[in-house]
Amino acid sequence: MSASAAMPYFIKPSVNLDRSAKTEAYEQALMAIQANLEGETDATLKMATINCLLKTYLPYYYWVGFYVKSGERRLSVGPYQGTLGCLHISYDKGVCGRAAREEKTQIVPDTHALQQGTDHIACDPNSRSEIVVPVFGKDGALIAVFDVDSTLNNSFDEVDQKYLERLMKEVF
């Protein structure tokens, strides 16, 4: 099924935040996540809860979710909130593939400036900026990547990177 530009009724376009409002929102979101995930061990439960609470506190989160390692150089969509996500992504493709390959956070100010289909995979044409953070398990091996899209350019910066890298380390 191909992605259409029409936004479903239950999804709102992004609203960017300045750094201080963003910092305040992340502090609240991480407190709520830590309170709700205290003592939890199930990865799917933790991933679904993180998606929900981050999307609740951060108004520029249009699509939010995890791509879980499903093979040697393959990712498959896990828990997410938003429009239809691509089901499988190879390590050789897109921003998610690059984050998994390099095991490094990727911040994209304008997804439409990237080579579509190779450097960027447009699961939803409304996506205009993106951040992808690698997720490591207790043994230090990559288990997934965490992906967030916004319908506006330049929604993500070092503040997002700092809080999201800290969160993924604390929870997984």
Question: Binding residues for ligand SME, per CB under 6 A?
Answer: 63, 85-86, 89, 94-96, 120-121, 123, 127, 130, 147, 149
Residue 79 or 94: which CB sits closer to ligand SME?
Answer: 94
Residue 28 burial (10 A CB sphere; 0-12, 13-18, 19+): middle
Shortest gap between Cβ of 40 and ligand SME (angstroms)? 25
Closest approach, Cβ 153 to ligand SME, in A, equals: 15
The DSSP bridge partners found for residue 18 are none
Give 41 or 115: the residue with its C-beta nearer to ligand SME.
115
Cβ atoms 74, 90 nearer than 8 A = yes
Shortest reach from residue 33's CB to ligand SME, in Å: 21
Q: Least separation, in Å, of the C-beta of 121 and ligand SME?
A: 4
Token readout for 78 is 């896990």
- Could you tell me which residues are beta bridge partners of residue 76? 68, 88
How do beta strands 63-71 and 74-81 pair? antiparallel
Q: What is the DSSP letter of 29?
A: H
Residue 121 or 133 with smaller CB distance to ligand SME:
121
CB-closest chain residue to ligand SME: 94
Nearer to ligand SME, 69 or 120 (CB): 120
SS3 150: strand
